[in-house]
Structures are given as C-alpha cells and as structure tokens.
Amino acid sequence: MFSILTAAVISTLNTFEKYLIVEIGYAAYMFPSAIITAGLLWIIVIGGKRPVSKSFMASKEFIALSIFRSISAYGFTLALGLGALVSITTYISSFACVSIAIIGIIFLKETDALPRKILAGIIAVVGITFIFLST
C-alpha cells in the first residue's frame, strides 16, 4: 500500500513540477529549488545522528555518484523545461524502477521473491509502455 501511495505522490509532484516550470520558467524554478534542497540535505547531514565520513565524501565513488544523481535530477526537469511531455519523461524515469530491480538481481544477488520480481517487472514494463504508446 505504501508503494502505491508513494507512486501517486511522485506522479502528482512530477505533474506540478512541469506546471511550475512552464509557468515561471526553468531558471526561475531550478535556482530556488536547488538552494532549498541543498539546505535541507545539509540540515539532515549536520543534524543526523550518524556521523558522516569525510573521507567517504571525498572519495571518487561518492563524487561520481553525486554527479550522476545530479545529472539525473536536472536532466528530468530540463527535459520538462524544454517542452517534453510529462508522460514521456515519466516513462523514462519509471523504466528505471525495472532496471534497478534487474541490476540488483544481477550484481547484488537480490534473488529473494524472484518470481514476484519478474512478474512485477513485466507488468511495469507493459504498463509504462501503454502510457508511452498512448501519447
């Protein structure tokens, strides 16, 4: 049930994000959004109960992950800002859910409930493909 609620909230937020980008422009939307997000993350890091390893934050792996996550986030909103349909950008974003499960099975050996994961992946691909084809 939590997964369905999360999907509904993310879908709603993506739609409002597109609306805001169209109404006020990409730059006017992204600058305050990035500042607020960075501030919240620093509050979590500084106020968190778990210590943050400075050596890990300076590692190549962490820096690479940070760069790729930023490209992913800004790529989605930039696509919306350039006029991409929400249904198409969400299709690409949603396909990542299926890809992550497959990569987890292959590289992390997350094979628990494998038949259910395979069935869920098939249903997800069919569903997001129908959305893609209907636009």
- Write out pLDDT tens, residues 81-133: 888 787 777 777 777 777 777 888 887 888 888 888 888 888 877 887 787 77
Name every residue whose Cβ is closer than 8 Å to that of residue 76 and which is 6 or more positions away in sequence: 89, 93
Interatomic CA distance for residues 113 and 49, integer angstroms? 33
**Total domain count, the chain:** 1
- How much is the mean pLDDT over the chain? 81
- Interatomic CA distance for residues 101 and 119, integer angstroms: 12
At 130, list the tokens: 């129908």
Q: Enter the pTM of the model.
A: 0.57
Question: Has residue 61 got a pLDDT over 80?
Answer: yes
Instruction: Note down the domain range covering 65.
Output: 2-133
